[in-house]
């Protein structure tokens, strides 16, 4: 829905504004933190710019000679990307624009509201074969392109090899819609095509290998695991066939002719996907990338300013313990402790430059209540053990008993304050993407609104799992 798109844009703008404000208002003494903040702000800006442009990126991956460039040429309807019999024709990622006219699709299956006369701008990204680029370079290239992509095409031309299996597993971890393109079907009989297609459906867990190929008997069905992909059979650049030509004079010649590409099914799936939920996918991908950027900023901020935070926590711990020890009235201890803990949390938030969201506030309020309750229990416990509480001892001017109770309660108060401070560090780091208009909040709202049969629904479990695992680490 356009609402998804606007929500993502609003959330990204809010996040960018907050961290730009942080850079302007504070002098960050840690060069590493400055570098991290600069780099991740660029990531956030790039995702916002991509969202504003509304260009959907489709990246194609696969091993060498699987016909990646041919698949993109077939989608484009013209030979723009170089293809050939030699391995490694594509050396570096290359992108071309594809203007997709979108047919009208009836609601309720439609997610995005795009006018019939409009078209979506798509950027097709061709990549080198994953088995021909040096290991580290290949990994970084693939990660960079995967981050940019909103939809991934993984091209194969037969049963999967070990390298293809490993690459496909990595691409699935990116939580992007993925279409497996079974190319070069013109080289197989119908029964061979069906067998390979069935093997691909059984994705992909093998126990034994012979050579570099998997066998159907070795596949274990992992359909229970999230598998957000389609499998489509195509022949992007069919092999030339020889034609026998009889001329009027009785002469017979033979010529080679290239049949037209068999690409319509793949094109229809992509167009349907873009038409129904293209802008929502664009919004979701931008938010997921921005979430990772904000988490990196928060993690670095907490890690690199650990000593300053520890000093701040101990400062509040000492002052609170001293105040509790000197104050003779128990109820004032509780009120003062609560206010002190709130000020400590606010001070840590300022130190880190991280927002105090409603998520964090709710979690930390429980910690503060436990801290205040601990002081009340200390008052009651000391009164039970020594015969009367600190307030009574103070009023009775029993200095020996008062000192014993005061030291006990001050020690408990110090421990509880330190606990609150440590909890605040965790919640500030983990909860910064939640709260009103937060990135995780926007992601969750999009996931909650999509239709059951959408591509986004297939990704829902993995994306929610990433949010929830980060969320639960703070508990």
Q: Are the CB atoms for 305 and 421 separated by under 8 Å?
A: no
218-250: burial string, b at 16+ Cβ within 10 Å, e else? bbeeeeeebbbbbbbbbbbbbeeeeeeeeeeee
* pLDDT for res 262: 94
Q: Angle at Cα 395 formed by Cα 392 and Cα 401, nearest 5°?
A: 60
The pTM is what? 0.73
* pLDDT for res 118: 54
Please tell me which residue, 408 or 293, carries the higher pLDDT value.
Answer: 293
* Phi (first) and psi of residue 67, to 5 degrees: 90, 35
Taking the alpha carbons at both ends of the chain, their separation in whole angstroms is 34
Q: Are the CB atoms for 141 and 168 separated by under 8 Å?
A: no
* Cα–Cα separations (whole angstroms), residue 367 to 234, 338, 379, 416, 419: 59, 10, 19, 9, 8
The pLDDT tens digits of the residues spanning 372-399 come to 555 555 554 554 444 444 444 444 455 5
Q: Is the pLDDT of residue 352 over 90?
A: no
Q: Angle at Cα 458 formed by Cα 232 and Cα 292, nearest 5°?
A: 115
Q: Is the pLDDT of residue 221 over 60?
A: no
Q: Which pair of structure tokens corresponds to residue 292? A: 């990772």
* pLDDT for res 330: 64
Please tell me which residue, 304 or 87, carries the higher pLDDT value.
Answer: 304
Q: Could you give the maximum distance between any two Cα atoms of the chain, in Å?
A: 131
The pLDDT tens digits of the residues spanning 28-77 come to 667 888 888 888 989 889 888 888 888 889 999 998 889 999 999 999 98
* pLDDT for res 7: 84
Q: Are the CB atoms for 231 and 203 separated by under 8 Å?
A: no
Q: Is the pLDDT of residue 179 over 60?
A: yes
* pLDDT for res 340: 82
* pLDDT for res 319: 83
HSE-up of residue 199 (Cα within 13 Å, Cβ side): 21
* pLDDT for res 74: 93
Q: Summarize the confidence of residues 341-358 as an average pLDDT.
A: 80
Q: Is the pLDDT of residue 220 over 50?
A: no
* pLDDT for res 410: 72
* pLDDT for res 102: 62
Give the chain's length.
Answer: 475
Please tell me which residue, 333 or 275, carries the higher pLDDT value.
Answer: 275
């Amino acid at each position: 829905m356009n609402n998804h798109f606007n929500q993502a844009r609003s959330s990204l703008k809010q996040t960018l504004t907050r961290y730009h404000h942080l850079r302007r208002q504070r002098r960050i003494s840690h060069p590493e933190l400055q570098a991290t903040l600069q780099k991740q702000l660029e990531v956030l800006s790039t995702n916002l710019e991509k969202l504003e442009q509304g260009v959907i990126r489709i990246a194609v991956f696969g091993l060498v000679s699987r016909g990646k460039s041919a698949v993109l040429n077939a989608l484009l309807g013209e030979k723009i990307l170089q293809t050939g019999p030699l391995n490694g024709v594509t050396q570096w990622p290359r992108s071309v624009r594809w203007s997709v006219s979108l047919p009208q699709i009836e609601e309720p299956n439609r997610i995005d509201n795009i006018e019939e006369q409009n078209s979506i701008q798509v950027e097709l990204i061709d990549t080198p074969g994953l088995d021909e680029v040096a290991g580290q370079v290949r990994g970084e290239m693939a990660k960079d392109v995967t981050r940019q992509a909103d939809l991934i095409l993984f091209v194969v031309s037969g049963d999967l090899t070990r390298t293809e299996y490993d690459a496909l597993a990595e691409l699935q971890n990116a939580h992007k819609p993925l279409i497996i393109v079974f190319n070069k079907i013109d080289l197989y009989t119908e029964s061979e095509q069906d067998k390979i297609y069935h093997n691909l459906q059984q994705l992909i867990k093998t126990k034994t290998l012979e050579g570099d190929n998997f066998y159907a008997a070795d596949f274990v069905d992992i359909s229970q695991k999230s598998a957000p992909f389609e499998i489509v059979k195509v022949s992007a650049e069919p092999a030339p066939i020889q034609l026998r030509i009889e001329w009027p004079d009785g002469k017979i010649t033979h010529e080679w002719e290239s049949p037209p590409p068999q690409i319509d099914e793949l094109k229809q799936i992509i167009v349907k996907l873009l038409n129904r939920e293209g802008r929502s996918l664009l919004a979701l991908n931008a938010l997921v990338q921005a979430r990772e950027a904000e988490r990196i900023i928060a993690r670095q901020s907490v890690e690199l300013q650990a000593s300053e935070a520890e000093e701040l926590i101990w400062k509040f711990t000492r002052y609170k313990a001293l105040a509790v020890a000197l104050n003779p009235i128990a109820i004032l201890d509780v009120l003062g402790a609560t206010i002190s803990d709130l000020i400590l949390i606010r001070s840590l938030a300022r130190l880190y430059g991280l927002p105090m969201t409603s998520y964090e506030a709710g979690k930390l309020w429980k910690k503060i209540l436990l801290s205040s309750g601990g002081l009340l229990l200390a008052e009651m416990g000391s009164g039970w053990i020594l015969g009367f509480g600190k307030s009574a001892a103070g009023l009775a001017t029993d200095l020996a008993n008062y000192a014993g109770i005061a030291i006990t309660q001050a020690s408990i108060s110090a421990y509880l304050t330190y606990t609150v401070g440590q909890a605040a560090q965790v919640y500030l780091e983990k909860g910064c993407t939640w709260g009103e208009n937060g990135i995780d909040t926007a992601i969750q709202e999009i996931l909650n609104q999509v239709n059951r049969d959408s591509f986004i629904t297939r990704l829902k479990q993995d994306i929610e799992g990433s949010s929830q695992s980060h969320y639960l680490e703070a508990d």
